[in-house]
Structure 1
Amino acid sequence: MAREKKKGGVLPPDGGWGWMIVVGCFVVTVCTRAVTRCISIFFVEFQMHFARDYSGTAWIHSLVDCTTMLCAPLGSLIGNRLSCRVAVILGGFLASVGLVLSSFATSLEYLYLSLGVLTGLGFALCYTPAIAMVGVYFCERKALAYGIAMSGSGIGTFVLAPLVQLLIEQYSWRGALLILGGFVSNLCACGALLRPIVLKEEEACPLPVDSESGYNVKLSAGNGVHTKKATGVKLQVNGKQSCLQSMQEYSFLLMPDFLVLAGSFLLLASGCSLPFVYLVPYALDVGLSHQHAAFLMSILGVIDIIGNITFGWFTDRRCMKKYRIICYLFAVGMEGLCCLFIPLLQTFALLVPFSVLYGYFDGAYVALIPVVTSDIVGTSYLSSALGVVYFLHAVPYLVSPPIGGWLVDTTGTYTATFFLSGFAMISSSLLLFTAAIVRHCQRKEKNCLSKDQQLESCEGKQVDYYTSKKKDLMVIIPATS
């Protein structure tokens, strides 16, 4: 079957083994994004054990997120050059080793390297290739498939948040990290599920013949042995072909729509990680117990699942497919609006509705990121585009939690931190909305111009028709008289 697919290519199956790909991606999101979110539960433990301030401790979560996103193009590169299966298995091994080594940490700087860099690198090699594989196997039900696959972060958060808190209480933070390292090793098994497939539209095009370079000459001698000259020409061909292939993989970077989307992602990444880092410390600061604070993360995670699946199903409807970007920016804007109200919520009963709303809209936009990206760049560029998209999240993920911690240390409250998060996400939504309005006006103006040109051409044809008829009559009248 694999040979037949490599030879002729197939259409996206929209089912079959594709559902196993969804299962594999689901577990990948559990082991990467859910575990990353649960690192915030270790925040107070690290702070107390190493006697450091908010800003210094926040660098651990920042480095995990930053390395995951910064190395996302590396995951895409390995997935494209070797296979998504190799990338995920290698990433699972590195992430597991990083968590196990973190359990022996003696300082925050040690955790910066083991938990922040090594584990983040492993997550990067797993995350992008697994998500790209779902887009390759699905076309008509792509949003639903992504909704189910990306719901792993919500389900994982719901299950892991209280479990990690229990592990910390039973075995300390060192034992909890050691157990998480064994759990994350399941990524290696998930990688085995990612069977490669070649689509018809992704088949490699033959290299154009360059007459000046002599690429159309025969590369072998008559006896079937390659000569030195032919071998040199073949190396030049391979080098130029590799260069052209790399340029083609990233040609979407010149698309105006993608550049606007990239700017929106930068603003989004500046604010979306702050609530996950500081929700638990904020809940403890207003007087909630450790169990209630962890339960808020669980509520956020389970509602995240509903947002993933319902928004994925909703935007897969035929009438809604053209409005996917509108649904995406609505979800991002509502999530930013929720953050602006956090400083007013200081009891468990008030923070529960926040966790519900924030979790739902977080699941909605996370499921739509690869769908919107695929709608703009196409399936053939999806893996490379996702690598760039998640790469854009790197620097904001790195600097925003420490900036949030610095604001807490300076002001003594979490108000400025959550306001920063809310305004960043609202700005992301407004940027996309403004671009959509401008594009709509340009399209409308272009349609009006095309209609005017059609009318002018029709009038010109009528004038030519009557002129020709008049000439015919002038010719016919003298002849008949």
Structure 2
Amino acid sequence: MAKGARVRSSSPPDGGWGWMIVAGCFLVTICTRAVTRCISIFFVEFQTYFTQDYAQTAWIHSIVDCVTMLCGLGFALCYSPAIAMVGKYFSRRKALAYGIAMSGSGIGTFILAPVVQLLIEQFSWRGALLILGGFVLNLCVCGALMRPITLQEDQTTPEQNHIGRTQKPDFQRVSPCSTLTKKWVQTCLCCSLQQEYSFLLMSDFVVLAISVLFMAYGCSPLFVYLVPYALSVGVSHQQAAFLMSILGVIDIIGNITFGWLTDRRCLKNYRYVCYLFAVGLDGLCYLCLPMLQSLPLLVPFSCTFGYFDGAYVTLIPVVTAEIVGTTSLSSALGVVYFLHAVPYLVSPPIAGWLVDTTGSYTVAFLLCGFSMIFSSVLLGFARLVKKMKKTQLRFLAKEPDPKLQLWTNGSAAYSVARELDHRDEQSVALTVPGPSPT
């Protein structure tokens, strides 16, 4: 896109062309995440045609999800940038904007699940995949909607601009092969990367990254094995596809309503807790799934799991932005979605291996449930420890004893208790008389 089309703004506009960005991200999530989820409907077809077990067939879905989150290939070139653009255009209504944008995954699943089943019945799985491929070409339209925006926090200072203008002619005079030029470029690149990815050293982000690994491990297998599990307990093909549709439409409700609720004043400061709540409840749903062996019982499960799945998916960018800020949001989201890759790659095959080994889905679903619950508990425990440390520092700062006073300089706190103790000892030594000579 031409440089003249770049929008400059002192703060996120929270509207205007931002709603077109939301619409573009909405279409991107339909063409990427919804299509990926519908591969679950192809699972039985693949398994029958290639005569493979659960573990081998699961690699198809795993590789699609892994490449999307791991590389700069395929869906990844659309998914992560579209989500980051929404964060650039919205601040006050960020959760709502993300809720609408991410609901594309749910509404896409709701529409595509029965359609894909019909396409398979009419054109076989090969023809259905070709039609889906043509549908995914709409990503080109989504990319045309993404208009770059430059915020005040992204702009360089006048001093930096002046230095850049003065150094540019000198840079042009120096030979490109010059050793000095190469070192200067390398230094600039290293400094830029260090500043861009400084959030990797933040303890809060490290804990979030670890929890994402467990959460991603738990959430992926359901979209692979829900249809096969439903078929194994006597549900028909159309009814199994209907379960995916229910999960998708409730996912939409979770995206939008949870985004709207967490934008309210009463919950705006508790988005982190809401995220933990949603992830934990999805884990509990997993633990109940092996006991649900009929369509009337699987429908409420799809509703509950779908709602909270949409809820925490909406809050992932919001929680990440609270930790790292909007300046590094794009890079941080790239890292967060990158961390989804390995669990997405290994969890469906592991679950398939457990199904092949045990002859049931119980162990696979229980492992996924406990993984999501552990993810939620880990983040909650880390937040609790951080609050306890803050409370302790505030308590020490309010102590009247000068030995317990703390001076804060940036992020480091310096205690002067030892120095005061040393001074007290010196004063006592001066006031106490020594032994009299005999």
- TM surpasses 0.5: yes
Corresponding residue SS for 1:380: coil
The corresponding residue for 2:291 is 344
Shift of 1:237: 3.6
Cα pair 2:248 2:306 within 8 Å, conserved = yes
The corresponding residue for 1:379 is 326
The corresponding residue for 1:139 is 91
Once residues 239 and 215 of structure 1 are traced to their aligned partners in structure 2, the CA distance between those partners, rounded to angstroms, is 16
Q: Where does 1:307-346 land on structure 2 (aligned, <5 Å)?
A: 307-346=254-293
Once residues 300 and 229 of structure 1 are traced to their aligned partners in structure 2, the CA distance between those partners, rounded to angstroms, is 57
Moved more, 61-70 or 226-235: 226-235
Shift of 1:204: 3.5
The 1:253/1:174 distance shift into structure 2, 3 A limit, reads same
Shift of 1:137: 0.3
Moved more, 446-455 or 263-272: 446-455
Moved more, 199-208 or 132-141: 199-208
Q: String of CA shifts for 1:231-277, please: whole Å, max 9, x gaps.
A: 76555444322221112111100000000101110110111011111
The 1:287/1:237 distance shift into structure 2, 3 A limit, reads same
Corresponding residue SS for 2:14: coil
Residue 123 of structure 1 is aligned with which of 70, 75, 80? 75
Residue 134 of structure 2 is aligned with which of 161, 182, 185? 182
The 1:225/1:52 distance shift into structure 2, 3 A limit, reads closer
The 1:218/1:280 distance shift into structure 2, 3 A limit, reads closer
Q: String of CA shifts for 1:387-437, please: whole Å, max 9, x gaps.
A: 100111111111110010001101111101110110000000000111111
The 1:218/1:49 distance shift into structure 2, 3 A limit, reads closer
Residue 304 of structure 2 is aligned with which of 357, 369, 388? 357
The AA in structure 2 aligned to 1:270 is Y
Cα pair 1:407 1:416 within 8 Å, conserved = yes
Q: String of CA shifts for 1:266-320, please: whole Å, max 9, x gaps.
A: 1101110111111100000001100000000000000000000011001111221
Corresponding residue SS for 1:198: strand
Cα pair 2:106 2:251 within 8 Å, conserved = yes
For structure 1, the 5+ residue unaligned runs are: 75-120, 459-481
Cα pair 1:158 1:300 within 8 Å, conserved = yes
Q: Provide the identity percentage.
A: 66
Once residues 219 and 40 of structure 1 are traced to their aligned partners in structure 2, the CA distance between those partners, rounded to angstroms, is 55
The corresponding residue for 2:408 is none
The corresponding residue for 1:284 is 231
Once residues 264 and 308 of structure 2 are traced to their aligned partners in structure 1, the CA distance between those partners, rounded to angstroms, is 19
The corresponding residue for 1:111 is none
The corresponding residue for 2:33 is 33
Corresponding residue SS for 2:264: coil
The 1:266/1:174 distance shift into structure 2, 3 A limit, reads same
The AA in structure 2 aligned to 1:335 is D
Cα pair 1:132 1:383 within 8 Å, conserved = yes
TM-score when normalising by structure 2: 0.87
2:119 pairs with 1:152: no
2:124 pairs with 1:172: yes
The AA in structure 2 aligned to 1:247 is Q
RMSD: 2.6
Once residues 169 and 177 of structure 2 are traced to their aligned partners in structure 1, the CA distance between those partners, rounded to angstroms, is 6
Once residues 200 and 37 of structure 1 are traced to their aligned partners in structure 2, the CA distance between those partners, rounded to angstroms, is 39
The 1:28/1:420 distance shift into structure 2, 3 A limit, reads same
Q: Where does 1:21-60 land on structure 2 (aligned, <5 Å)?
A: 21-60=21-60
Cα pair 1:333 1:429 within 8 Å, conserved = yes
TM-score when normalising by structure 1: 0.79
The 1:382/1:452 distance shift into structure 2, 3 A limit, reads same
For structure 2, the 5+ residue unaligned runs are: 406-438
The corresponding residue for 1:397 is 344
Once residues 70 and 227 of structure 1 are traced to their aligned partners in structure 2, the CA distance between those partners, rounded to angstroms, is 38
2:364 pairs with 1:417: yes
Shift of 1:7: 9.3
Once residues 9 and 207 of structure 1 are traced to their aligned partners in structure 2, the CA distance between those partners, rounded to angstroms, is 20
Shift of 1:216: 11
The 1:245/1:204 distance shift into structure 2, 3 A limit, reads farther
2:196 pairs with 1:249: yes
Cα pair 1:144 1:316 within 8 Å, conserved = yes
The corresponding residue for 1:108 is none
The 1:236/1:343 distance shift into structure 2, 3 A limit, reads same
Once residues 354 and 34 of structure 2 are traced to their aligned partners in structure 1, the CA distance between those partners, rounded to angstroms, is 26
Q: Where does 1:451-470 land on structure 2 (aligned, <5 Å)?
A: 451-452=398-399
Once residues 157 and 61 of structure 2 are traced to their aligned partners in structure 1, the CA distance between those partners, rounded to angstroms, is 43
Cα pair 2:280 2:372 within 8 Å, conserved = yes
Residue 114 of structure 2 is aligned with which of 162, 177, 184? 162
Once residues 201 and 235 of structure 1 are traced to their aligned partners in structure 2, the CA distance between those partners, rounded to angstroms, is 29
The corresponding residue for 1:439 is 386
The 1:245/1:286 distance shift into structure 2, 3 A limit, reads same
Once residues 65 and 87 of structure 2 are traced to their aligned partners in structure 1, the CA distance between those partners, rounded to angstroms, is 23
The 1:128/1:218 distance shift into structure 2, 3 A limit, reads closer
Shift of 1:124: 1.1
Corresponding residue SS for 1:42: helix
Q: String of CA shifts for 1:349-402, please: whole Å, max 9, x gaps.
A: 000000000000000000000000011000000110011001111111111100
Cα pair 2:174 2:181 within 8 Å, conserved = no
The 1:356/1:457 distance shift into structure 2, 3 A limit, reads closer
Once residues 153 and 288 of structure 1 are traced to their aligned partners in structure 2, the CA distance between those partners, rounded to angstroms, is 24
Once residues 135 and 116 of structure 2 are traced to their aligned partners in structure 1, the CA distance between those partners, rounded to angstroms, is 12
Residue 296 of structure 1 is aligned with which of 243, 247, 268? 243
The corresponding residue for 2:418 is none
Shift of 1:450: 1.3
Once residues 179 and 250 of structure 2 are traced to their aligned partners in structure 1, the CA distance between those partners, rounded to angstroms, is 60
Corresponding residue SS for 1:49: helix
The AA in structure 2 aligned to 1:253 is L
- For these two proteins, the number of residue pairs brought into alignment is 404
